[in-house]
Amino acid sequence: RLTKPCGVAFNARGELYVSDYLRHRILVYGRDGKYVRGFGKRGSGKGQLSGPRGLAFTSDGDLVVCDAGNARVQVLREDGTFVRSFGSHGRE
């Protein structure tokens, strides 16, 4: 069940990844539109999310997530395993 979808991206197999801003999760749907799996939980640790928004896949098949609430971009495997992140809260 989606509460506030914000970003979408298709992987190479045609699965649809949807970021849910309010649930702090990524949900995955099959080509038939049925729910397949989800991952992520609220937090600021590696692989944790806070208000995820935009999504994109790299040419290597990794998922790039705009982790808005944590002011960073995270790179995750298709199953949600943490790869790397960059960015942080800035100052004016």
16-40 pLDDT, tens digit per residue, is 999 999 999 999 999 999 999 999 9
pTM of the entire predicted model: 0.92
Q: 19 has which bridge partners?
A: 7, 26
pLDDT at 87: 85
Whether residue 41 contacts residue 21, with contact meaning beta carbons closer than 8 Å, is answered with: no
pLDDT at 12: 96
| Per-residue pLDDT band at 49 (split at 50, 70, 90) | very high
d(CA 92, CA 37): 39
55-87 pLDDT, tens digit per residue, is 999 999 999 999 999 999 999 999 999 999 998
